[in-house]
A = this chain, B = another copy of it.
Amino acid sequence: MPMTTPLRGVVPPVCTPLTASGEVDTASLTRLVEHLLAGGVHGLFALGSTSEVAYLTDAQRATVLETVVGAADGRVPVLAGVIDTTTARVVDHAKAAAEVGADALVATAPFYTRTHGVEIARHFRRIRSAVDLPLFAYDLPVSVHTKLSAALVSELAEDGTLAGLKDSSGDDGALRRLIVALGGREGRADGPAPAFSILTGSELTVDAALLAGADGVVPGIGNVDPAGYVRLYEAARAGDWDVAAKEQERLVALFAMVDAGPEDEMGRSSSALGSFKHALRLLGVIEHGDTAFPQIPLNAESVALVSQHLRAAGLRPVR
């Protein structure tokens, strides 16, 4: 669907279910899209970090995007991650995403390379001019090892290069400064940036980000409980901040599943991604809980912990 601007609401980064042999499980992925839409989400972000995009070959990325676009079937916009080291490689992904029917693109600053702020601006401008789709900047210092400065984002917002920001920096103070620079929570509509959408990736402080004036959220654990994030979002839109905060607390407790994997055996990222996928398996949405190679899979004890977290949050495992 043509994306309304600015994009608002809950836009989960869609997990990528895999088969036992490590290929994209399109049937599970289609069910996952239905699960998310049934939860009331306002958009889908395919091929993000939570989608394990960095683990997928180009062929697998194409399969994922085709499946999500097909399953969404125009009911909500589909944002496509175009994650790669530098501009030329990102543009290749962007063209592929446009062909498959993505409604918007999400790109990081260059990584692996060491890139100056001026060069980062050139990077985003080139992507925008190469493929005619709304472009979101993805600020993810934990992976990219660069923080997008408020000055840079403002500049690219105001000149129309960027349609929005997905802020996964965890730096809510910097986000607040950006919102104020763009006109403030009430004044942004009349501010300097045309229809600029601010989505937080900080899934534990969504009530706070919405209070500050963010437009929406891209919550990894929104795969598991999309309806919870939609309730949180709707309460915030209604100004019912106590309800929003209470729902956020329930989701914070649910999020504790990310530490299910044993710390001495696997990384925290693998533990988090594995817990989301096993939760979806336990809920009957997808077939397998395994993450992409070389990540260590959760063991049975860890999966049991995931199941406990689901029940404690009022969700119902069916396996």
Q: For residue A252, which residues in chain B have a CB less than 8 angstroms away from its CB?
A: 176-177, 180
Is A295 an interface residue, CB under 8 A from the partner? Answer: yes
Q: Among A54, A111, A296, find the residue whose CB has the most chain B CB atoms closer than 10 A.
A: A54
A245 and B202 in contact, given A118-B265, A252-B177 (Cβ under 8 angstroms): no
For the complex formed by this chain, how many copies does it contain in all?
4
CB distance from A174 to the nearest CB of B (A): 8
Secondary structure at the A interface, as helix, strand, loop or mixed, is helix
The stretch that binds B, out of A36-44, A139-147, A225-233, A276-284, is A139-147
Is A266 an interface residue, CB under 8 A from the partner? Answer: yes
Q: Is the CB of B267 within 8 A of A114?
A: yes
CB-nearest residue of chain B to A124: B294
CB-nearest residue of chain B to A22: B88
Q: Is the CB of A239 within 8 A of B239?
A: no
Within 8 A of B (CB), among A169-206: 170-173, 176-177, 180, 184-186, 202-205
Q: For residue A204, which residues in chain B have a CB less than 8 angstroms away from its CB?
A: 172-173, 176-177
Q: Is the CB of A212 within 8 A of B245?
A: yes
Q: Is the CB of A296 within 8 A of B119?
A: yes
Q: Among A170, A207, A245, A253, find the residue whose CB has the most chain B CB atoms closer than 10 A.
A: A245
Within 8 A of B (CB), among A62-101: 83, 85-89, 92
CB-nearest residue of chain B to A89: B57
CB distance from A252 to the nearest CB of B (A): 5
Q: Number of A interface residues, CB 8 Å?
A: 75
Q: Is the CB of A294 within 8 A of B87?
A: yes
Q: For residue A241, which residues in chain B have a CB less than 8 angstroms away from its CB?
A: 211, 239, 241
Mask for A43-62, Cβ within 8 A of B = 1, else 0? 00000010000111110100
Q: For residue A58, which residues in chain B have a CB less than 8 angstroms away from its CB?
A: 58, 89, 92
Q: For residue A202, which residues in chain B have a CB less than 8 angstroms away from its CB?
A: 172-173
CB distance from A210 to the nearest CB of B (A): 10
Is A269 an interface residue, CB under 8 A from the partner? Answer: yes
Q: For residue A120, which residues in chain B have a CB less than 8 angstroms away from its CB?
A: 294
Q: For residue A22, which residues in chain B have a CB less than 8 angstroms away from its CB?
A: 88
Q: How far is the CA of A119 from the CA of B294 in the complex (A)?
A: 5
Q: Among A22, A113, A255, find the residue whose CB has the most chain B CB atoms closer than 10 A.
A: A113
Is A270 an interface residue, CB under 8 A from the partner? Answer: yes
The 5 nearest A-B residue pairs measured at CB:
A208-B208, A116-B267, A122-B294, A173-B204, A54-B85
A-B contact pairs, 24 of them (CB 8 A): A22-B88, A54-B85, A55-B88, A55-B89, A86-B292, A87-B293, A114-B142, A116-B267, A119-B270, A119-B295, A170-B171, A172-B205, A176-B205, A176-B248, A177-B204, A177-B252, A180-B252, A184-B249, A185-B249, A205-B212, A208-B209, A212-B245, A212-B248, A213-B245
